[in-house]
Amino acid sequence: MVLDRFLVLPLLLSLLFLSLATGLVQDFCVADLSKEDTPAGYPCKPVSEIGYCDFVFSGLATPGNTSNLIKAAVTPAFVSQFPAVNGLSISAARLDLAVGGVIPLHTHPRGSELLVVIEGNITAGLISSSNDVYVAKLHAGDTMIFPQGLLHFQINSGNSPVVAFVSLSSPDPGIQITALSLFSNNLPSEIVEAVTFLDDAEVKKLKKLLGGSG
Ligand SMILES: *[C@@H]1O[C@H](CO)[C@@H](O)[C@H](O)[C@H]1NC(C)=O
Ligand SMILES: *[C@@H]1O[C@H](CO)[C@@H](O)[C@H](O)[C@H]1NC(C)=O
C-alpha cells in the first residue's frame, strides 16, 4: 500500500502538469499573469472572468520601431502579451525590417518558427546541428520553417521595408541572440576570445557596440 501511494502521487502530479500543459481537462487556460509562472505555464484566470477579448490581441497591428542598431523590430504575442496562449503550444510575433534591417543569428530554445512574408523580400537562413546551411530568398506570400532550437536569421534583402509574421510552437518560445549572448553581458573578454577564437580588439569592439562589460 505504501508503495502504491508513492507510485500514485507522482503519476497524479504528472497527469496534472500534462493536463495544464496540453489542456486535456479544459478547453483553455487564459493566464493569470498576477500569479507565478510554473514549468506547466501560468495558473488560469477564472472562466467567469473571461470574455471574447481575452482571445483577441491587437498588438501586432502596429509596426515595431526599427530605429535601432539592427534596423528591425520583433513585436511578440507570447504569453506575457497575449495570456490566452498559455498552455497552448502556440504564439506569434510580428517582424518589421527597415531597408538594411536584420534579425541577427538567434535560436528559440522552446519552439519551432513558421514565418510568412507579407511585404518585401527577405534572405533567411538556418544552420542545422550538423552545420549544414540552408539559405533562401523569400518574397511576399512565401513561408519558411525554422525547426526548434536551430540557429537562424532574417535579412531585408530588398529595397523596401519588410513585414512578416511568425508563429511559434510554444506560448513562451524564448529568443537567444548569439551576438548578445557573447557581447552584451559580463562574460570576461578573455573567455569570449577563448571560446570564439576572435581577437581581443574585435571582442572589445563588439562589447562596446552591444553594451557588454569585462
Ligand atoms: C523609435 O525609437 C527611437 C530610438 O529609441 C526613438 O528616438 C523614437 O522616438 C521612436 N519612435 C517612435 C515612433 O516611437
Ligand atoms: C523582390 O525581389 C523581386 C525578385 O528578385 C524583385 O523583382 C522585387 O523588385 C524585389 N522587391 C523589393 C521590395 O525589393
The long-range contacts involving 131-139, CB below 8 angstroms and separated by at least 24 positions, are none
| Ligand 2 site residues, Cβ closer than 6 angstroms | 120-121, 139, 158-160
Tell me the whole-structure pTM to 2 decimals.
Answer: 0.87
The yes/no answer on whether domain 49-174 falls in CATH 3.90.420.10 is no
139 is in an annotated binding site: no
**Tens digit of pLDDT for each residue in 68-110?**
999 999 999 999 999 999 999 999 999 999 999 999 999 999 9
Element (H, E) at 155: strand 151-156
Alpha carbons 203 and 184: distance in angstroms, whole number: 11
Alpha carbons 114 and 169: distance in angstroms, whole number: 9
Which residue has its alpha carbon closest to ligand 1 atom 13? 65
Nearest atom in ligand 2 to the alpha carbon of residue 160 is: 13
What distance in angstroms lies between residue 115's CA and the mean position of ligand 2's atoms?
Answer: 18
Q: List the grid coordinates of 188.
A: 570576461
**Tens digit of pLDDT for each residue in 144-166?**
999 999 999 999 999 999 999 99
**Tens digit of pLDDT for each residue in 26-65?**
899 999 999 999 999 999 999 999 999 999 999 999 999 9
Alpha carbons 69 and 44: distance in angstroms, whole number: 38
Sorted by where each begins, the domain ranges of the chain are: 49-174, 181-210
What distance in angstroms lies between residue 99's CA and the mean position of ligand 2's atoms?
Answer: 12
What distance in angstroms lies between residue 64's CA and the mean position of ligand 1's atoms?
Answer: 10
**Tens digit of pLDDT for each residue in 110-133?**
999 999 999 999 999 999 999 999
Nearest atom in ligand 1 to the alpha carbon of residue 65 is: 1
